[in-house]
Structure 1
């Protein structure tokens, strides 16, 4: 169970880091390009979310292959583990997106 939690934690922070890092760097690029960093960062965070999940779980084909091959033989433990890895990665990416939206909110 220790390796499962360790991988899940890594997947969470990888997805979180992809969204946060990509959005922050896009904001720096927007300043250099004389565009609105707030709009750019929010837009990039939304569009990076799915790619952050893909990066965290290690690509799109391998997790799907694990799910498919184990599901049909009735070995559901690896299936649930892969689904949990995907879910935890999504939580990390979503938290990163929400923090970027919180940072970029317009103060009036």
Structure 2
């Protein structure tokens, strides 16, 4: 399998899992704290979305440095790859947030 494709899919799945797992665990914690679980899950899913992207792409500023260094030297391919990884991670986090919102929607 292509290494770039595999890395993009991994970033997508990591970001998806961070948002979904964090929101579900926050919902369980809300039950113990006698807070409304659906509201808590929705709030946490939207708050940790950006952090899921950061976790998926490496957890630091290194991807931004790779983009900067390669663009300054005229190499666009590595920079485009890093931007693609960030986009894939964002899509995973966003899809998980949308899934949480869909699950918490009132049936009425």
TM-score range, shorter chain: over 0.9
- In structure 2, C-alpha distance between the alignment counterparts of 1:73 and 1:61, rounded to whole Å: 19
Aligned-pair Cα RMSD in Å: 0.9
Gaps of 5+ in 2: none
TM-superposed deviation, 1:59: 1.9
Calculate the TM-score normalised by the size of structure 1: 0.98
* TM-score of the pair, normalised by structure 2: 0.98
The aligned counterpart of 1:33 is 33
Q: After TM superposition, which residue ranges in structure 1, 4 or more long, deviate above 3 angstroms?
A: none
Q: Structure 1 stretch 57-66 or stretch 83-92: which is displaced more?
A: 57-66
Distance (Å, rounded) in 2 between the aligned partners of 1:22 and 1:101: 14
2:46 aligned partner: 46
Looking at structure 2, the residues matched to 21 and 105 of structure 1 have their Cα atoms a distance apart, in angstroms, of 18
* 1:24 counterpart = 2:18: no
| 1:4-83 superposed matches below 5 A | 4-83=4-83
**Where does the alignment leave 5 or more consecutive residues of structure 1 unmatched?**
none
